[in-house]
Chains A and B, each alone.
Chain A
Amino acid sequence: MIEGTSSIEGLKDKVGVEWGAGVYEVEKGMIRRFVQAIDDPNPLWQDEEYAGKSEYGGIIAPPTFVVTLGLEQIGQVLASVPSVTVLHGSTELECYQPIMVGDTVTVTTKIAAIRERQGKMGRTAFLTFDFAYENQRQELIARCRQMIICY
């Protein structure tokens, strides 16, 4: 976690500085809570017998599950800037390998860029967060770029 600051201006010093966003041991319950929230009944995500017979040989997480790992870091960084409204602008996800139950995922993140412009809501900042996710074999399994809008 990077140190909090009281303004977007203060975050500019942190651009490009990578930090560990957490180590997650993926168990069935995490995946179940995720797919129940989305309401995605695909048996590959929950049914051990079905998933065991699939080419994956066991339960896997849906490809979008990985974006939730370390996602709270964005809120934690911006919680230190209490006066702003935070909206989500965009997501770019690249998936290289599925996550299996029992995998340990290590997340690193950084603020890749901050740009600002004068908008209809006053000064608006666009923050780009880059996430990289590795499994327990140090294989890169996914990358995600999240663009966050603050005003």
Chain B
Amino acid sequence: MSQQFYYEDVEVGSEIAPLVKQTTTRQLVMWAGASGDYNPIHYDKDFAQSKGLPGVIVPGQLVGCFLGQLMTDWLGEQGRLRRLTCSYRGMNFPGQTLTCQGKVTKKYIEDGEHYIELSLWVENEKGEKTVSGRATVTVPSRGAA
């Protein structure tokens, strides 16, 4: 866990520490059980290929949860994730290394809360952005501490 940072420490345009994920088919099975998403394209290769896919694909929602982890790892205990949007633009396959990244796009104070907005994305080893997203978070302020 990173040490708690404050609103005043954050600069628009800065990038946050990336989160690297090594996906596996085992993880897809664990995810199916934990999430209740039993779409066979995520664990049955024959079924996936019958649907015209190259093989089983990593569920978008799982990668969306990686972006959630990217946020909570960065936010520390006192920060809160308020909004997270993810757009699943390209397919990810088990065995790939996915790098989750984020960049601060905006900061503002509203109703006494200190908001930060970020643009998020996930890249595969080829540098292709397969998932993009946005997050809105609130963080503590030194002024209020």
Contact = CB atoms under 8 A, between A and B. Distances in A.
Interface string B73-114: 100011011111111100000000000000000000000000
Interface residues of A, number: 35
Interface in B2-53: 21, 27, 30-31, 33-39, 41, 51-53
The 10 closest A-B pairs by CB, nearest first: A64-B68, A72-B36, A88-B60, A37-B30, A37-B34, A37-B31, A68-B35, A33-B34, A63-B81, A85-B51
Contacts of B65: 38, 40, 62, 64, 67
Interface residues of B, number: 39
A85 B41 contact: yes
Given A67-B35, A74-B37, 5 more contacts: A36-B30, A38-B31, A68-B37, A93-B84, A94-B83
B53 to A, nearest CB: 8
Interface of B: 1, 21, 27, 30-31, 33-39, 41, 51-53, 59-62, 64-66, 68-69, 71-73, 77-78, 80-88
A34 B34 contact: yes
Contacts of B39: 75, 86
A42 B73 contact: yes
14 contacts: A33-B34, A37-B27, A37-B33, A38-B31, A42-B1, A54-B77, A68-B37, A71-B36, A87-B41, A88-B61, A90-B85, A90-B86, A92-B84, A94-B83
